[in-house]
Chain A
Protein backbone atom coordinates (compact mmCIF):
# COMPACT_ATOMS: atom_id res chain seq x y z
CA UNK A 1 0.00 0.00 0.00
CA UNK A 2 2.79 2.40 0.94
CA UNK A 3 4.72 1.73 -2.25
CA UNK A 4 1.47 2.19 -4.20
CA UNK A 5 0.94 5.60 -2.60
CA UNK A 6 4.52 6.65 -3.15
CA UNK A 7 4.68 5.59 -6.80
CA UNK A 8 1.31 7.13 -7.45
CA UNK A 9 2.40 10.42 -5.92
CA UNK A 10 5.53 10.52 -8.07
CA UNK A 11 3.70 9.77 -11.31
CA UNK A 12 1.12 12.44 -10.44
CA UNK A 13 3.87 14.98 -9.99
CA UNK A 14 5.22 14.09 -13.43
CA UNK A 15 1.80 14.55 -15.05
CA UNK A 16 1.38 17.88 -13.29
CA UNK A 17 4.85 18.98 -14.34
CA UNK A 18 4.24 18.16 -18.01
CA UNK A 19 0.81 19.77 -18.11
CA UNK A 20 2.10 23.02 -16.57
CA UNK A 21 5.24 23.04 -18.74
CA UNK A 22 3.24 22.51 -21.91
CA UNK A 23 0.78 25.24 -20.97
CA UNK A 24 3.45 27.76 -20.02
CA UNK A 25 5.70 27.16 -23.02
CA UNK A 26 2.83 27.16 -25.52
CA UNK A 27 1.25 30.32 -24.12
CA UNK A 28 4.52 32.19 -23.99
CA UNK A 29 5.48 31.20 -27.52
CA UNK A 30 2.19 32.43 -29.01
CA UNK A 31 2.28 35.60 -31.10
CA UNK A 32 1.22 38.67 -29.13
CA UNK A 33 2.40 39.53 -25.63
CA UNK A 34 0.40 40.41 -22.53
CA UNK A 35 1.47 44.07 -22.62
CA UNK A 36 0.90 44.81 -26.30
CA UNK A 37 -1.94 47.21 -25.51
CA UNK A 38 0.02 49.43 -23.06
CA UNK A 39 -0.73 53.06 -23.79
CA UNK A 40 2.76 54.35 -23.12
CA UNK A 41 4.03 52.03 -25.79
CA UNK A 42 7.67 52.97 -25.47
CA UNK A 43 10.21 50.21 -25.42
CA UNK A 44 11.38 51.26 -21.96
CA UNK A 45 7.94 50.81 -20.40
CA UNK A 46 7.51 47.43 -22.03
CA UNK A 47 10.89 46.33 -20.76
CA UNK A 48 10.18 47.48 -17.23
CA UNK A 49 6.83 45.69 -17.24
CA UNK A 50 8.38 42.51 -18.53
CA UNK A 51 11.01 42.67 -15.83
CA UNK A 52 8.46 43.35 -13.11
CA UNK A 53 6.50 40.26 -14.11
CA UNK A 54 9.71 38.26 -14.57
CA UNK A 55 9.15 37.72 -18.27
CA UNK A 56 12.53 39.03 -19.40
CA UNK A 57 15.27 36.82 -20.71
CA UNK A 58 14.92 33.80 -22.93
CA UNK A 59 11.92 31.50 -22.82
CA UNK A 60 13.99 28.93 -20.98
CA UNK A 61 14.99 31.42 -18.25
CA UNK A 62 11.38 32.52 -17.79
CA UNK A 63 10.28 28.92 -17.60
CA UNK A 64 12.81 27.79 -15.03
CA UNK A 65 12.19 30.88 -12.91
CA UNK A 66 8.47 30.14 -12.98
CA UNK A 67 8.97 26.51 -12.04
CA UNK A 68 11.14 27.59 -9.09
CA UNK A 69 8.30 29.81 -7.85
CA UNK A 70 5.75 27.09 -8.46
CA UNK A 71 7.77 24.65 -6.38
CA UNK A 72 7.40 27.10 -3.50
CA UNK A 73 3.62 27.09 -4.19
CA UNK A 74 3.74 30.69 -5.42
CA UNK A 75 1.34 31.06 -8.36
CA UNK A 76 2.53 34.66 -9.03
CA UNK A 77 0.44 37.64 -10.11
CA UNK A 78 -2.01 37.92 -12.99
CA UNK A 79 -0.89 40.16 -15.88
CA UNK A 80 -4.35 41.33 -16.65
CA UNK A 81 -5.76 42.00 -13.20
CA UNK A 82 -2.66 43.68 -11.83
CA UNK A 83 -3.63 44.02 -8.20
CA UNK A 84 -4.63 40.39 -7.87
CA UNK A 85 -2.50 37.39 -7.34
CA UNK A 86 -3.49 34.25 -9.23
CA UNK A 87 -4.26 32.52 -5.93
CA UNK A 88 -6.67 35.31 -4.97
CA UNK A 89 -8.50 35.18 -8.30
CA UNK A 90 -8.88 31.43 -8.06
CA UNK A 91 -10.02 31.65 -4.44
CA UNK A 92 -12.67 34.17 -5.45
CA UNK A 93 -13.95 32.35 -8.53
CA UNK A 94 -13.70 28.72 -7.50
CA UNK A 95 -16.33 28.44 -4.70
CA UNK A 96 -19.38 29.04 -6.91
CA UNK A 97 -18.03 26.68 -9.57
CA UNK A 98 -17.30 24.04 -6.92
CA UNK A 99 -20.82 24.32 -5.55
CA UNK A 100 -22.54 24.18 -8.93
CA UNK A 101 -20.21 21.48 -10.24
CA UNK A 102 -20.65 19.42 -7.09
CA UNK A 103 -24.43 19.47 -7.40
CA UNK A 104 -24.24 18.66 -11.11
CA UNK A 105 -21.87 15.81 -10.33
CA UNK A 106 -24.25 14.36 -7.74
CA UNK A 107 -27.18 14.60 -10.17
CA UNK A 108 -25.15 13.02 -12.98
CA UNK A 109 -23.86 10.11 -10.90
CA UNK A 110 -27.02 9.25 -8.92
CA UNK A 111 -29.61 9.83 -11.61
CA UNK A 112 -27.39 8.28 -14.28
CA UNK A 113 -26.79 5.09 -12.30
CA UNK A 114 -30.50 4.80 -11.41
CA UNK A 115 -31.71 5.34 -14.97
CA UNK A 116 -29.05 3.04 -16.41
CA UNK A 117 -29.83 0.18 -14.03
CA UNK A 118 -33.55 0.61 -14.59
CA UNK A 119 -33.05 0.46 -18.36
CA UNK A 120 -30.89 -2.67 -18.05
CA UNK A 121 -33.34 -4.43 -15.73
CA UNK A 122 -36.27 -3.65 -18.01
CA UNK A 123 -34.33 -4.43 -21.16
CA UNK A 124 -36.22 -4.07 -24.45
CA UNK A 125 -39.30 -2.57 -22.83
CA UNK A 126 -40.65 0.94 -23.46
CA UNK A 127 -38.83 2.08 -20.28
CA UNK A 128 -35.50 1.02 -21.74
CA UNK A 129 -36.22 2.59 -25.12
CA UNK A 130 -37.41 5.84 -23.58
CA UNK A 131 -34.35 6.09 -21.32
CA UNK A 132 -31.90 5.42 -24.15
CA UNK A 133 -33.71 7.74 -26.55
CA UNK A 134 -33.66 10.47 -23.91
CA UNK A 135 -29.97 9.81 -23.35
CA UNK A 136 -29.05 10.26 -27.00
CA UNK A 137 -31.06 13.49 -27.14
CA UNK A 138 -29.33 14.81 -24.02
CA UNK A 139 -25.93 13.98 -25.53
CA UNK A 140 -26.73 15.57 -28.88
CA UNK A 141 -28.08 18.93 -27.76
CA UNK A 142 -25.34 21.27 -26.56
CA UNK A 143 -25.68 23.19 -23.30
CA UNK A 144 -25.89 26.56 -25.05
CA UNK A 145 -29.17 25.40 -26.57
CA UNK A 146 -30.62 23.69 -23.48
CA UNK A 147 -29.62 26.64 -21.28
CA UNK A 148 -31.58 29.40 -23.09
CA UNK A 149 -34.41 26.92 -23.67
CA UNK A 150 -34.71 26.15 -19.94
CA UNK A 151 -34.58 29.87 -19.14
CA UNK A 152 -37.27 30.63 -21.70
CA UNK A 153 -39.62 27.93 -20.38
CA UNK A 154 -39.12 27.91 -16.62
CA UNK A 155 -38.04 31.48 -15.95
CA UNK A 156 -39.65 33.69 -18.59
CA UNK A 157 -42.80 31.74 -19.42
CA UNK A 158 -43.78 29.83 -16.26
CA UNK A 159 -41.94 32.23 -13.93
CA UNK A 160 -41.11 29.46 -11.47
CA UNK A 161 -37.39 30.11 -11.23
CA UNK A 162 -35.09 33.14 -11.56
CA UNK A 163 -33.48 33.87 -14.93
CA UNK A 164 -29.95 33.92 -13.60
CA UNK A 165 -27.68 35.16 -10.88
CA UNK A 166 -26.34 33.61 -7.76
CA UNK A 167 -27.87 33.16 -4.31
CA UNK A 168 -30.39 30.70 -2.97
CA UNK A 169 -31.21 27.17 -4.02
CA UNK A 170 -33.66 28.39 -6.67
CA UNK A 171 -30.74 29.94 -8.56
CA UNK A 172 -28.95 26.62 -8.68
CA UNK A 173 -31.69 24.41 -10.16
CA UNK A 174 -31.61 25.44 -13.83
CA UNK A 175 -27.81 25.68 -14.20
CA UNK A 176 -27.34 22.36 -12.43
CA UNK A 177 -29.83 20.64 -14.75
CA UNK A 178 -28.27 22.26 -17.80
CA UNK A 179 -24.74 21.31 -16.72
CA UNK A 180 -25.53 17.73 -15.73
CA UNK A 181 -27.92 16.68 -18.53
CA UNK A 182 -25.37 15.25 -21.01
CA UNK A 183 -23.43 13.54 -18.24
CA UNK A 184 -26.56 11.90 -16.81
CA UNK A 185 -26.97 10.44 -20.28
CA UNK A 186 -23.36 9.24 -20.56
CA UNK A 187 -23.48 7.63 -17.12
CA UNK A 188 -26.85 5.98 -17.82
CA UNK A 189 -25.60 4.45 -21.09
CA UNK A 190 -22.41 3.25 -19.47
CA UNK A 191 -24.30 1.74 -16.52
CA UNK A 192 -26.85 0.02 -18.75
CA UNK A 193 -24.24 -1.64 -20.96
CA UNK A 194 -22.09 -2.69 -18.05
CA UNK A 195 -25.01 -4.12 -16.05
CA UNK A 196 -26.22 -6.05 -19.11
CA UNK A 197 -22.75 -7.60 -19.39
CA UNK A 198 -22.67 -8.55 -15.71
CA UNK A 199 -26.18 -10.03 -15.84
CA UNK A 200 -24.85 -12.66 -18.23
CA UNK A 201 -22.10 -13.78 -15.83
CA UNK A 202 -21.90 -17.08 -13.97
CA UNK A 203 -21.77 -15.72 -10.44
CA UNK A 204 -25.14 -14.08 -10.93
CA UNK A 205 -26.66 -17.34 -12.08
CA UNK A 206 -25.27 -19.00 -8.94
CA UNK A 207 -26.77 -16.24 -6.80
CA UNK A 208 -30.17 -16.81 -8.36
CA UNK A 209 -29.78 -20.61 -8.10
CA UNK A 210 -29.33 -20.42 -4.37
CA UNK A 211 -32.68 -18.68 -4.08
CA UNK A 212 -32.18 -14.91 -4.30
CA UNK A 213 -34.83 -12.98 -6.18
CA UNK A 214 -33.88 -10.96 -9.26
CA UNK A 215 -33.75 -7.68 -7.31
CA UNK A 216 -31.76 -9.16 -4.42
CA UNK A 217 -29.22 -10.72 -6.77
CA UNK A 218 -28.83 -7.44 -8.63
CA UNK A 219 -28.46 -5.17 -5.62
CA UNK A 220 -26.23 -7.51 -3.60
CA UNK A 221 -23.98 -8.91 -6.30
CA UNK A 222 -24.33 -7.37 -9.73
CA UNK A 223 -24.32 -3.65 -8.88
CA UNK A 224 -20.93 -3.71 -7.19
CA UNK A 225 -19.21 -5.08 -10.28
CA UNK A 226 -21.32 -3.31 -12.88
CA UNK A 227 -20.61 0.11 -11.42
CA UNK A 228 -16.83 -0.16 -11.98
CA UNK A 229 -16.73 1.37 -15.50
CA UNK A 230 -19.02 4.13 -14.28
CA UNK A 231 -16.64 4.88 -11.41
CA UNK A 232 -13.77 5.12 -13.89
CA UNK A 233 -15.72 7.66 -15.90
CA UNK A 234 -16.80 9.64 -12.84
CA UNK A 235 -13.22 10.45 -11.81
CA UNK A 236 -12.31 12.73 -14.72
CA UNK A 237 -15.92 13.94 -14.85
CA UNK A 238 -15.70 15.28 -11.30
CA UNK A 239 -12.56 17.25 -12.12
CA UNK A 240 -14.19 18.57 -15.29
CA UNK A 241 -17.43 19.66 -13.61
CA UNK A 242 -15.81 21.19 -10.52
CA UNK A 243 -13.60 23.52 -12.57
CA UNK A 244 -16.70 25.16 -14.03
CA UNK A 245 -18.30 25.43 -17.42
CA UNK A 246 -17.90 28.63 -19.39
CA UNK A 247 -21.16 28.20 -21.32
CA UNK A 248 -23.41 27.45 -18.36
CA UNK A 249 -21.86 30.21 -16.30
CA UNK A 250 -22.28 32.79 -19.05
CA UNK A 251 -25.85 31.73 -19.90
CA UNK A 252 -26.95 31.95 -16.26
CA UNK A 253 -24.75 34.93 -15.44
CA UNK A 254 -22.71 33.27 -12.69
CA UNK A 255 -19.25 34.51 -11.78
CA UNK A 256 -17.31 31.27 -11.73
CA UNK A 257 -14.04 29.73 -12.78
CA UNK A 258 -15.30 28.49 -16.16
CA UNK A 259 -14.30 31.65 -17.98
CA UNK A 260 -10.77 31.69 -16.58
CA UNK A 261 -9.34 29.33 -19.21
CA UNK A 262 -10.78 31.17 -22.18
CA UNK A 263 -10.11 34.67 -20.89
CA UNK A 264 -6.59 33.85 -19.79
CA UNK A 265 -5.69 32.56 -23.25
CA UNK A 266 -7.28 35.60 -24.88
CA UNK A 267 -5.27 37.93 -22.62
CA UNK A 268 -2.10 35.81 -22.91
CA UNK A 269 -2.22 35.70 -19.10
CA UNK A 270 0.21 32.81 -18.74
CA UNK A 271 0.41 32.73 -14.95
CA UNK A 272 -3.37 32.73 -14.45
CA UNK A 273 -3.73 30.02 -17.08
CA UNK A 274 -1.05 27.87 -15.47
CA UNK A 275 -2.69 28.38 -12.08
CA UNK A 276 -6.00 27.14 -13.46
CA UNK A 277 -4.26 24.17 -15.11
CA UNK A 278 -2.58 23.31 -11.81
CA UNK A 279 -5.97 23.29 -10.07
CA UNK A 280 -7.57 21.22 -12.83
CA UNK A 281 -4.76 18.67 -12.91
CA UNK A 282 -4.65 18.38 -9.14
CA UNK A 283 -8.39 17.67 -9.06
CA UNK A 284 -7.97 15.14 -11.86
CA UNK A 285 -5.17 13.37 -10.01
CA UNK A 286 -7.04 13.33 -6.70
CA UNK A 287 -10.22 11.96 -8.24
CA UNK A 288 -8.39 9.32 -10.26
CA UNK A 289 -6.71 8.27 -7.04
CA UNK A 290 -10.09 8.00 -5.30
CA UNK A 291 -11.32 5.94 -8.25
CA UNK A 292 -8.46 3.47 -7.79
CA UNK A 293 -9.18 3.16 -4.07
CA UNK A 294 -12.89 2.64 -4.74
CA UNK A 295 -12.02 -0.06 -7.25
CA UNK A 296 -10.26 -2.20 -4.68
CA UNK A 297 -13.13 -1.66 -2.23
CA UNK A 298 -15.83 -2.59 -4.75
CA UNK A 299 -14.08 -5.54 -6.34
CA UNK A 300 -11.93 -7.54 -3.96
CA UNK A 301 -10.17 -9.24 -6.87
CA UNK A 302 -8.45 -5.99 -7.79
CA UNK A 303 -5.30 -5.20 -5.85
CA UNK A 304 -3.47 -1.94 -5.94
CA UNK A 305 -0.31 -1.92 -7.98
CA UNK A 306 1.38 1.19 -9.07
Chain B
Protein backbone atom coordinates (compact mmCIF):
# COMPACT_ATOMS: atom_id res chain seq x y z
CA UNK B 1 0.00 0.00 0.00
CA UNK B 2 2.68 2.59 0.86
CA UNK B 3 4.29 1.86 -2.51
CA UNK B 4 1.11 2.82 -4.36
CA UNK B 5 0.82 6.00 -2.35
CA UNK B 6 4.38 6.89 -3.18
CA UNK B 7 3.77 6.65 -6.90
CA UNK B 8 0.52 8.55 -6.62
CA UNK B 9 1.90 11.62 -4.87
CA UNK B 10 2.67 14.46 -7.20
CA UNK B 11 6.42 14.90 -7.69
CA UNK B 12 7.65 18.18 -6.29
CA UNK B 13 8.11 21.10 -8.64
CA UNK B 14 11.86 20.89 -8.90
CA UNK B 15 11.66 17.25 -10.06
CA UNK B 16 9.29 18.34 -12.84
CA UNK B 17 11.69 21.05 -13.93
CA UNK B 18 14.54 18.56 -14.01
CA UNK B 19 12.57 16.32 -16.34
CA UNK B 20 11.94 19.26 -18.69
CA UNK B 21 14.92 19.01 -21.01
CA UNK B 22 14.67 22.43 -22.76
CA UNK B 23 14.44 24.13 -19.37
CA UNK B 24 17.51 22.34 -18.04
CA UNK B 25 19.54 23.07 -21.18
CA UNK B 26 18.49 26.71 -20.87
CA UNK B 27 19.56 26.82 -17.25
CA UNK B 28 23.02 25.49 -18.10
CA UNK B 29 23.31 27.85 -21.08
CA UNK B 30 22.33 30.90 -19.02
CA UNK B 31 24.68 29.96 -16.23
CA UNK B 32 27.54 29.64 -18.73
CA UNK B 33 26.74 32.99 -20.34
CA UNK B 34 26.59 34.76 -16.99
CA UNK B 35 29.88 33.24 -15.81
CA UNK B 36 31.67 34.04 -19.08
CA UNK B 37 30.27 37.58 -19.28
CA UNK B 38 31.32 38.45 -15.74
CA UNK B 39 34.77 36.81 -15.71
CA UNK B 40 36.36 36.66 -19.17
CA UNK B 41 36.46 40.46 -19.85
CA UNK B 42 38.80 40.91 -16.86
CA UNK B 43 41.35 38.53 -18.34
CA UNK B 44 41.39 39.97 -21.86
CA UNK B 45 44.53 42.01 -22.68
CA UNK B 46 44.07 45.78 -22.54
CA UNK B 47 45.14 46.27 -26.15
CA UNK B 48 42.11 44.25 -27.22
CA UNK B 49 39.71 46.40 -25.21
CA UNK B 50 40.80 49.81 -26.43
CA UNK B 51 39.87 51.52 -29.66
CA UNK B 52 42.30 51.10 -32.54
CA UNK B 53 42.73 51.97 -36.19
CA UNK B 54 41.69 48.45 -37.26
CA UNK B 55 38.10 49.31 -38.05
CA UNK B 56 35.57 46.86 -39.47
CA UNK B 57 37.82 43.81 -39.47
CA UNK B 58 35.89 40.66 -40.35
CA UNK B 59 35.85 37.79 -37.82
CA UNK B 60 38.95 35.63 -37.24
CA UNK B 61 41.44 38.15 -38.59
CA UNK B 62 44.52 39.55 -36.92
CA UNK B 63 44.61 43.23 -36.10
CA UNK B 64 47.42 45.30 -37.65
CA UNK B 65 47.89 47.62 -34.70
CA UNK B 66 47.49 45.19 -31.80
CA UNK B 67 48.43 41.94 -33.58
CA UNK B 68 45.61 40.24 -31.72
CA UNK B 69 43.22 37.71 -33.11
CA UNK B 70 39.75 39.24 -33.32
CA UNK B 71 37.39 36.30 -32.84
CA UNK B 72 34.22 38.15 -33.86
CA UNK B 73 35.81 41.01 -35.82
CA UNK B 74 35.93 44.69 -34.89
CA UNK B 75 33.47 47.58 -34.98
CA UNK B 76 33.64 51.13 -36.31
CA UNK B 77 35.98 52.25 -33.52
CA UNK B 78 38.27 49.29 -34.04
CA UNK B 79 37.17 47.70 -30.76
CA UNK B 80 37.03 43.95 -30.51
CA UNK B 81 33.43 42.77 -30.96
CA UNK B 82 33.91 39.76 -28.68
CA UNK B 83 34.84 42.06 -25.80
CA UNK B 84 32.02 44.46 -26.61
CA UNK B 85 29.53 41.56 -26.72
CA UNK B 86 30.57 40.35 -23.30
CA UNK B 87 30.38 43.80 -21.69
CA UNK B 88 27.05 44.23 -23.49
CA UNK B 89 25.90 40.98 -21.93
CA UNK B 90 26.93 42.33 -18.51
CA UNK B 91 24.83 45.44 -19.00
CA UNK B 92 21.84 43.71 -20.61
CA UNK B 93 21.67 40.86 -18.12
CA UNK B 94 22.44 43.19 -15.22
CA UNK B 95 19.70 45.63 -16.20
CA UNK B 96 17.34 42.69 -16.76
CA UNK B 97 18.00 41.01 -13.43
CA UNK B 98 18.11 44.11 -11.22
CA UNK B 99 15.20 45.77 -13.05
CA UNK B 100 13.12 42.61 -12.71
CA UNK B 101 14.00 42.47 -9.00
CA UNK B 102 12.79 46.03 -8.45
CA UNK B 103 9.55 45.35 -10.31
CA UNK B 104 9.21 42.13 -8.35
CA UNK B 105 9.46 43.89 -5.00
CA UNK B 106 6.95 46.57 -5.99
CA UNK B 107 4.58 44.11 -7.67
CA UNK B 108 4.67 41.61 -4.80
CA UNK B 109 4.08 44.23 -2.13
CA UNK B 110 1.29 45.86 -4.13
CA UNK B 111 -0.39 42.57 -5.02
CA UNK B 112 -0.15 41.21 -1.48
CA UNK B 113 -1.62 44.32 0.11
CA UNK B 114 -4.37 44.54 -2.48
CA UNK B 115 -5.30 40.87 -2.26
CA UNK B 116 -5.04 40.52 1.52
CA UNK B 117 -6.99 43.58 2.55
CA UNK B 118 -9.59 43.06 -0.17
CA UNK B 119 -12.82 45.03 -0.44
CA UNK B 120 -12.51 48.71 -1.20
CA UNK B 121 -8.73 48.81 -0.90
CA UNK B 122 -8.48 46.02 -3.45
CA UNK B 123 -10.97 47.62 -5.83
CA UNK B 124 -9.17 50.97 -5.66
CA UNK B 125 -5.69 49.48 -6.07
CA UNK B 126 -6.72 47.31 -9.01
CA UNK B 127 -8.49 50.21 -10.76
CA UNK B 128 -5.22 52.11 -10.43
CA UNK B 129 -3.40 49.22 -12.14
CA UNK B 130 -6.03 49.25 -14.90
CA UNK B 131 -5.45 52.97 -15.41
CA UNK B 132 -1.69 52.47 -15.62
CA UNK B 133 -2.25 49.72 -18.17
CA UNK B 134 -4.19 52.23 -20.28
CA UNK B 135 -1.15 54.48 -20.74
CA UNK B 136 1.48 53.05 -23.12
CA UNK B 137 4.42 51.62 -21.16
CA UNK B 138 7.08 53.23 -23.33
CA UNK B 139 5.72 56.63 -22.31
CA UNK B 140 6.33 56.00 -18.62
CA UNK B 141 9.76 54.54 -19.25
CA UNK B 142 10.84 57.55 -21.29
CA UNK B 143 9.37 60.02 -18.84
CA UNK B 144 11.19 58.33 -15.96
CA UNK B 145 14.44 58.31 -17.92
CA UNK B 146 14.10 62.01 -18.72
CA UNK B 147 13.26 62.78 -15.11
CA UNK B 148 16.08 60.76 -13.48
CA UNK B 149 18.83 61.28 -16.03
CA UNK B 150 20.05 64.73 -15.05
CA UNK B 151 19.37 64.04 -11.38
CA UNK B 152 21.71 61.06 -11.36
CA UNK B 153 24.42 62.82 -13.35
CA UNK B 154 24.28 65.83 -11.06
CA UNK B 155 24.37 63.61 -8.03
CA UNK B 156 27.44 61.73 -9.27
CA UNK B 157 29.11 64.96 -10.27
CA UNK B 158 28.38 66.38 -6.85
CA UNK B 159 29.91 63.33 -5.23
CA UNK B 160 33.00 63.72 -7.42
CA UNK B 161 33.46 67.38 -6.53
CA UNK B 162 32.89 66.70 -2.87
CA UNK B 163 35.47 63.91 -2.96
CA UNK B 164 37.88 66.24 -4.74
CA UNK B 165 37.50 68.79 -1.99
CA UNK B 166 37.84 66.21 0.75
CA UNK B 167 40.79 64.75 -1.18
CA UNK B 168 39.36 61.25 -1.28
CA UNK B 169 41.15 60.03 -4.36
CA UNK B 170 39.42 56.64 -4.64
CA UNK B 171 35.90 58.05 -4.33
CA UNK B 172 36.68 60.76 -6.89
CA UNK B 173 38.02 58.13 -9.29
CA UNK B 174 34.96 55.95 -8.73
CA UNK B 175 32.56 58.82 -9.39
CA UNK B 176 34.44 59.84 -12.52
CA UNK B 177 34.38 56.26 -13.72
CA UNK B 178 30.66 55.93 -13.05
CA UNK B 179 29.47 59.12 -14.78
CA UNK B 180 29.23 57.62 -18.31
CA UNK B 181 27.41 54.65 -16.78
CA UNK B 182 24.83 56.69 -14.88
CA UNK B 183 22.42 55.99 -17.72
CA UNK B 184 22.45 52.30 -16.78
CA UNK B 185 21.32 53.08 -13.23
CA UNK B 186 18.60 55.29 -14.67
CA UNK B 187 17.44 52.54 -17.02
CA UNK B 188 17.35 49.94 -14.25
CA UNK B 189 15.28 52.19 -12.04
CA UNK B 190 12.90 53.28 -14.81
CA UNK B 191 12.26 49.78 -16.14
CA UNK B 192 11.79 48.41 -12.64
CA UNK B 193 9.26 51.12 -11.84
CA UNK B 194 7.22 50.26 -14.94
CA UNK B 195 7.24 46.48 -15.26
CA UNK B 196 5.46 45.51 -12.04
CA UNK B 197 1.82 45.65 -13.19
CA UNK B 198 1.46 42.03 -14.38
CA UNK B 199 3.29 40.78 -11.30
CA UNK B 200 0.92 42.68 -9.01
CA UNK B 201 -2.13 41.16 -10.70
CA UNK B 202 -0.83 37.59 -10.48
CA UNK B 203 0.26 37.89 -6.85
CA UNK B 204 -3.06 39.45 -5.92
CA UNK B 205 -4.99 36.60 -7.55
CA UNK B 206 -2.98 34.03 -5.60
CA UNK B 207 -3.33 35.94 -2.31
CA UNK B 208 -7.11 36.06 -2.80
CA UNK B 209 -7.08 32.24 -2.89
CA UNK B 210 -4.57 31.79 -0.05
CA UNK B 211 -6.19 34.13 2.45
CA UNK B 212 -9.37 32.03 2.52
CA UNK B 213 -7.44 28.95 3.66
CA UNK B 214 -7.71 27.74 7.24
CA UNK B 215 -4.10 28.37 8.22
CA UNK B 216 -4.62 32.08 7.63
CA UNK B 217 -7.81 32.04 9.68
CA UNK B 218 -5.94 30.17 12.40
CA UNK B 219 -3.10 32.68 12.54
CA UNK B 220 -5.61 35.51 12.60
CA UNK B 221 -7.42 33.80 15.48
CA UNK B 222 -4.09 33.62 17.28
CA UNK B 223 -3.97 37.38 17.09
CA UNK B 224 -1.25 37.86 14.50
CA UNK B 225 -1.33 41.16 12.68
CA UNK B 226 -1.88 41.52 8.94
CA UNK B 227 1.78 42.28 8.26
CA UNK B 228 3.02 39.24 10.13
CA UNK B 229 0.58 36.96 8.30
CA UNK B 230 1.65 38.43 4.97
CA UNK B 231 5.34 38.09 5.70
CA UNK B 232 5.45 34.83 7.63
CA UNK B 233 2.63 32.81 6.10
CA UNK B 234 1.72 34.12 2.68
CA UNK B 235 5.16 35.07 1.34
CA UNK B 236 6.64 31.53 1.64
CA UNK B 237 3.58 30.19 -0.16
CA UNK B 238 4.08 32.70 -2.93
CA UNK B 239 7.81 32.17 -3.34
CA UNK B 240 7.70 29.67 -6.22
CA UNK B 241 5.17 31.81 -8.07
CA UNK B 242 7.40 34.85 -7.56
CA UNK B 243 10.47 32.96 -8.78
CA UNK B 244 8.58 31.81 -11.88
CA UNK B 245 7.40 35.27 -12.84
CA UNK B 246 10.80 36.73 -12.05
CA UNK B 247 12.23 34.44 -14.74
CA UNK B 248 9.57 35.67 -17.16
CA UNK B 249 10.03 39.35 -16.23
CA UNK B 250 13.81 39.32 -16.86
CA UNK B 251 13.45 38.78 -20.65
CA UNK B 252 10.71 41.42 -20.77
CA UNK B 253 13.01 43.97 -19.09
CA UNK B 254 15.95 42.97 -21.34
CA UNK B 255 13.70 43.44 -24.38
CA UNK B 256 12.56 46.87 -23.20
CA UNK B 257 16.14 47.95 -22.53
CA UNK B 258 17.36 46.76 -25.91
CA UNK B 259 14.39 48.43 -27.58
CA UNK B 260 15.30 51.76 -26.00
CA UNK B 261 19.01 51.33 -26.74
CA UNK B 262 18.19 50.38 -30.32
CA UNK B 263 16.31 53.66 -30.66
CA UNK B 264 19.33 55.48 -29.23
CA UNK B 265 17.56 56.46 -26.00
CA UNK B 266 19.24 53.97 -23.70
CA UNK B 267 22.82 52.94 -23.08
CA UNK B 268 25.40 55.28 -24.62
CA UNK B 269 29.03 54.76 -25.62
CA UNK B 270 31.46 53.77 -24.19
CA UNK B 271 29.09 51.44 -22.35
CA UNK B 272 27.36 48.87 -24.56
CA UNK B 273 24.33 46.64 -24.37
CA UNK B 274 22.95 44.14 -26.87
CA UNK B 275 20.45 46.74 -28.05
CA UNK B 276 23.08 49.44 -28.63
CA UNK B 277 25.38 46.94 -30.40
CA UNK B 278 22.50 46.01 -32.71
CA UNK B 279 21.86 49.69 -33.35
CA UNK B 280 25.52 50.21 -34.30
CA UNK B 281 25.35 47.15 -36.55
CA UNK B 282 22.14 48.27 -38.24
CA UNK B 283 23.61 51.72 -38.93
CA UNK B 284 26.47 50.42 -41.06
CA UNK B 285 24.59 47.72 -42.94
CA UNK B 286 24.15 48.21 -46.66
CA UNK B 287 23.72 45.86 -49.60
CA UNK B 288 27.08 46.64 -51.23
CA UNK B 289 29.54 45.96 -48.45
CA UNK B 290 28.06 43.65 -45.90
CA UNK B 291 29.37 43.96 -42.34
CA UNK B 292 27.20 41.09 -41.26
CA UNK B 293 29.16 40.19 -38.12
CA UNK B 294 28.22 43.44 -36.40
CA UNK B 295 24.55 42.43 -36.64
CA UNK B 296 24.69 38.65 -36.61
CA UNK B 297 26.64 38.00 -33.39
CA UNK B 298 24.72 40.36 -31.09
CA UNK B 299 21.42 39.20 -32.59
CA UNK B 300 22.34 35.55 -32.12
CA UNK B 301 23.54 35.94 -28.54
CA UNK B 302 20.57 38.05 -27.54
CA UNK B 303 18.00 35.78 -29.20
CA UNK B 304 19.50 32.66 -27.63
CA UNK B 305 19.59 34.23 -24.17
CA UNK B 306 15.99 35.43 -24.39
CA UNK B 307 14.95 32.04 -25.72
CA UNK B 308 16.66 30.30 -22.83
CA UNK B 309 15.06 32.63 -20.28
CA UNK B 310 11.63 32.03 -21.76
CA UNK B 311 12.13 28.25 -21.86
CA UNK B 312 13.24 28.28 -18.26
CA UNK B 313 10.34 30.49 -17.21
CA UNK B 314 7.83 28.28 -19.01
CA UNK B 315 9.34 25.17 -17.45
CA UNK B 316 9.14 26.71 -13.97
CA UNK B 317 5.58 27.80 -14.57
CA UNK B 318 4.49 24.37 -15.77
CA UNK B 319 6.06 22.88 -12.67
CA UNK B 320 4.98 25.30 -9.96
CA UNK B 321 1.89 26.96 -11.35
CA UNK B 322 0.20 24.28 -13.47
CA UNK B 323 -3.23 25.90 -13.40
CA UNK B 324 -2.24 29.17 -15.03
CA UNK B 325 -3.34 29.23 -18.64
CA UNK B 326 -0.58 31.38 -20.04
Contact = CB atoms under 8 A, between A and B. Distances in A.
Contacts of B326: 186, 189-190, 193
Given A23-B139, A148-B285, A141 B134 contact: no
Q: 4 tightest CB-CB pairs across the interface, nearest first?
A: A140-B306, A193-B325, A140-B307, A265-B142
Contact of A261 (B130, B139, B150, B309): B139
B306 A30 contact: no
B295 interface: yes
| Chain A interface, DSSP helix/strand/loop, else mixed | helix
For chain A, which range describes its interface: under 10, 10 to 19, 20 to 34, or 35 or more residues? 35 or more
14 contacts: A19-B134, A23-B135, A23-B139, A27-B143, A30-B147, A136-B310, A137-B307, A139-B310, A140-B303, A144-B259, A149-B299, A250-B263, A265-B143, A273-B139
Contacts of B270: none
Contact residues on B (Cβ < 8 Å of other chain), bracket: 35 or more
Interface string A3-37: 00000000000010011001100110011100000
A262 interface: yes
B150 A197 contact: no
Interface string B121-147: 000000000110111101100110011
A18 B131 contact: yes
B295 A148 contact: yes
Given A246-B263, A262-B142, A262-B265, A145 B299 contact: yes
Contacts of A63: none
Contacts of A261: 136, 138-139, 142
Interface string A38-61: 000000000000000000000000
A27 B263 CA distance: 20
A190 B326 CA distance: 6
Nearest to B282: A148
A142 interface: yes
Given A148-B285, A156-B287, A262-B265, A15 B311 contact: no
Contacts of B307: 136-137, 140-141
A66 interface: no
Given A140-B307, A144-B282, A148-B282, A247 B262 contact: yes
